[in-house]
Amino acid sequence: DVKVTQSSRYLVKRTGEKVFLECVQDMDHENMFWYRQDPGLGLRLIYFSYDVKMKEKGDIPEGYSVSREKKERFSLILESASTNQTSMYLCASREQRINEKLLFGSGTQLSVL
Amino acid sequence: AQSVAQPEDQVNVAEGNPLTVKCTYSVSGNPYLFWYVQYPNRGLQFLLKYITGDNLVKGSYGFEAEFNKSQTSFHLKKPSALVSDSALYFCAVRATGFQKLVFGTGTRLLVSP
């Protein structure tokens, strides 16, 4: 089965720590995305990447950065974690054809204490 | 700007009855519309999409959705609900020429035995 894998299901970090969330896809997809999911707010796009070393800001990029050095891997970085970044983080990938569906990972529930 | 509204936080239905989960959208130009489902502690799974053509779209698990351009709606439907359909449902829209997929806030569906 093709899939999107997020390295951690649950993560607990302290305020001020640098946090790395990793996502790997095995489908050779060009496009990859990071969303955060919060109750009552749905999914909000943080960053996306349409090719290696290419990235674009989504709706809520503040406090985050991303890295895409290889096609299969898209990392989300919290430079200095804060409590308001406690959330479910979802990674997704998609073929280059824009009408194709997103395929999601299982998510990482991050708690910042 | 693109936006999606899911007016109901929760929908309750008895098993065997028909269900409808509502979605309205706002985009410039032609919309590409999607429904996703999220089971507990899981990532999002694709259900169906509307790109062009027939206004009635059939998807996974017996779900279907009807695109109504005049009402800017894309309601999700199923003729006979199952307890196993209980989950969180997200509607999403992308405008022509845009990479970004915008999600609604989600509707929790509870199907009682």
Q: Summarize pLDDT for B17-57 with one digit per residue, the tens.
A: 999 999 999 988 888 999 999 998 778 999 999 988 889 99
User: Which of B44, B46, B102 is closest, CB to CB, to A90?
Assistant: B44
pLDDT at B66: 95
Calculate how close chain B gets to A80, using CA atoms only, in Å.
26
Cβ under 8 Å to B: A residues 60-89 = none
Q: Return the structure tokens found at B109.
A: 């569906």
Calculate how close chain B gets to A74, using CA atoms only, in Å.
17
Question: Cβ–Cβ of A98/B44 closer than 8 Å?
Answer: no
The 10 Å CB-count burial string (b at 16+, else e) for A55-72 is: beebeeeeebebbbeebb
Counting one residue from A and one from B, how many pairs have CB atoms under 8 Å apart?
A: 55
The Cβ of residue B93 has, within 10 Å, a number of other Cβ atoms equal to 25
pLDDT at A1: 64
**Separation CA A102–CA A34 (nearest Å):** 11
CB B100 within 8 A of CB B93: no
pLDDT at B113: 95
Q: Summarize pLDDT for A22-32 with one digit per residue, the tens.
A: 999 998 888 99
pLDDT at A98: 59
Whether the predicted pLDDT of A100 surpasses 90: no
Whether the predicted pLDDT of B108 surpasses 90: yes
DSSP-assigned letter for residue B100: P
CB A47 within 8 A of CB A56: yes
**Separation CA B24–CA B5 (nearest Å):** 5
Q: Summarize pLDDT for A35-82 with one digit per residue, the tens.
A: 999 998 999 999 999 889 899 999 999 999 999 999 999 999 999 999
Residue given tokens 């693109």 in the structure block: B2
Q: Summarize pLDDT for B49-83 with one digit per residue, the tens.
A: 998 888 999 999 999 999 999 999 999 999 999 99
Q: What chain A residue is nearest to B4 in terms of C-alpha separation?
A: A42
CB B86 within 8 A of CB B111: yes
User: Which of B49, B103, B105 is closest, CB to CB, to A101?
Assistant: B49
Calculate how close chain A gets to B5, using CA atoms only, in Å.
10
Question: Cβ–Cβ of A98/B105 closer than 8 Å?
Answer: no
CB B104 within 8 A of CB B6: yes
Contacts of A43 in chain B (CB under 8 A): 44, 90, 92, 103
pLDDT at A2: 67
Query: Who contacts B72 (Cβ-Cβ below 8 Å, separation ≥6)?
Result: B24, B25, B26
Calculate how close chain B gets to A49, using CA atoms only, in Å.
10
**Separation CA B45–CA A25 (nearest Å):** 15
Q: What chain B residue is nearest to A98 in terms of C-alpha separation?
A: B99
pLDDT at B52: 84
pLDDT at B23: 98
| SS3 state at B103 | strand
